[in-house]
Structure 1
Amino acid sequence: MGCITKLGLFVLNFAIFAAGVAVVTLASIIINKDNSYGELLVESGVFTLPIIILIAGLVIVIIGFLGCCGAMKESSCMLKTYAAIVTVLLLGEITLAILLLIYPQKAENLIKKEMLGAFKKYGADDPSLDKTIDSIQHDLECCGVNNYTDWKEEIPWGSGQNVSKGCCKEMEEDCGMNIFDKSPSQIENTIYTQGCYEALKEDLKSETIALGVVLFLMAIVQVMAVSCACGLSRKSSHYA
């Protein structure tokens, strides 16, 4: 029977449980990377994917735990149900991965669009959002979503002449006033010019890579677990 044993399935499910814990941990780190990002990320919808991954991680933890119990009980019905649930989850993960691989630019454009929507609310009677946007720009050394010209071309605040004070290398009141009247060299010396989307992506790069590796390894373990569960289920039915 090879791996088709209670011990084999138990070990695989323990691996799934551990991977689920890792996914939950990494998703939580991304969500809580910096509390000052929270207001912007919620407003822009950037939180959505990490939250979905976090929920999926919690589901995986529960499935892994139940799978360990099911393996020890060696119930044919329970094992078949477990295999079906893991298969559905695995198909969902594969579908999401394929969509992200096929349409990376669309996903990037959607996130940028939502971030820009949050930036457009700057100065609209929401001091906490204004403070968050300024903090993110200054901490990540960025300005705007695509680049600093967003403040001229896309964002109503500033009337096409100003950038928010968070863009300034020396953050002071009115430091970003009439910035577009300056020469390119003066602009470079006064404000950050990189867009915040790229800066935020770079800031989260290590956590994102680690999350991708964990999800890939977990998918392999899930395939093995489904195979073992089906084999053990047939074995249990044969001896029933």
Structure 2
Amino acid sequence: MAVEGGMKCVKVLLFLFNFIFWLCGLVLIIVGVLVQIGLHNTLAIRDASASGGPIVIIGIGVVIFFIAFFGCCGAWKENYCMVTTFAILLFLLIVVEIAAVIVGYMFREKLSNVVQDSLTEMITGYKNGTDDFKKTVDKLQEDMKCCGGNSSTDWSSFGKDGKSVPDSCCVTPSAHCGKGTMRNPKKVHQKGCHDALVAFLRKNLLWVIVAALVIASLQVLGIVFSCLLMRGIRSGYEVM
């Protein structure tokens, strides 16, 4: 009876774990979508490699979503084959997540170049860009309180006088406030957006890496519970 009670507890724990696991998958899908939108719209990152992280996050989220559902069914029905398959898939997923964490950490070192290229493209295409594109660049500079890529002088080709910047560069944005004020620190932010944007992205990427490691740790518990339940089912104990 002691073993039977223990197996009942393992069954319930595995079911609850999979429900939480299912929610984690849903959260990862949402986070991945939001990061993808942020990189390509809010922050105007155009480098194709920047899509790798969010796509991996979304992919892992979708896989977790379905694996957790599969695990819930296996635990509830006490199906040895389903629980075994769940444990194997969970192990493979942990391997993929660890690989994704390593890739994400390596991408942190590449962020500087990706951001530099994207900011250069933003500045070059600003004058002839669409209204939405200009709003994106302006929002970036206003939110980050910065101007240009490395400094306000990156906008030297913006105006005919070579001394004007977009109004979003101004300390207090207003109509035509950037005209002829490129080097005026009282009116225009002199610091470029590169360092601030890299720091922002690295901080967010670090949180994603930490979240992935926490989820991987929880998955190890899921494998342990699965193995215990598999042992109970195989031994022929009634766990209902």
Please say whether Structure 1 and Structure 2 have the same fold, judged by a TM-score greater than 0.5. yes
Corresponding residue to 1:13 among 18, 21, 33? 18
Tell me the residue number matched to 2:136.
Answer: 132
Shift of 1:94: 0.8
Is residue 2:65 matched to residue 1:61?
yes
**2:203 & 2:56 partners in 1: Cα distance?**
19
Unaligned runs of 5+ in 1: none
Tell me the residue number matched to 2:76.
Answer: 72
Equivalent position SS for 1:171 = coil
Which structure exhibits the higher relative contact order, with contacts defined as CA atoms closer than 8 Å and separated by 6 or more residues? Answer: 1
Equivalent position SS for 2:138 = helix
Distance 1:80 1:116, change over 3 A: farther
Range with greater deviation from structure 2 (130-139 or 113-122): 113-122
Larger Rg: 2
**2:78 & 2:112 partners in 1: Cα distance?**
46
Cα deviation 1:75-129 (Å, max 9, x = unaligned): 2322232223222221121112123334532234224423433343211242221
Shift of 1:221: 0.8
Cα deviation 1:24-69 (Å, max 9, x = unaligned): 45455656779xx826536456565345424433432332232212
- 1:40/1:115 contact within 8 Å kept: no
Is residue 2:187 matched to residue 1:190?
yes
Tell me the residue number matched to 1:218.
Answer: 215
Shift of 1:208: 5.6
Aligned partner of 1:38: which letter? N
Aligned partner of 2:165: which letter? V
Shift of 1:142: 1.4
The 5-angstrom pairing of residues 160-239 of structure 1 reads 161-179=163-181, 182=183, 186=184, 188-200=185-197, 211-239=208-236
**TM-score normalised according to structure 2 size:** 0.73
Aligned partner of 1:150: which letter? D
Distance 1:125 1:118, change over 3 A: closer
Distance 1:40 1:98, change over 3 A: closer
**2:129 & 2:37 partners in 1: Cα distance?**
26
Aligned partner of 1:88: which letter? L
The 5-angstrom pairing of residues 74-113 of structure 1 reads 74-102=78-106, 104-113=108-117
Equivalent position SS for 2:19 = helix
**2:59 & 2:17 partners in 1: Cα distance?**
21
Tell me the residue number matched to 1:41.
Answer: 44
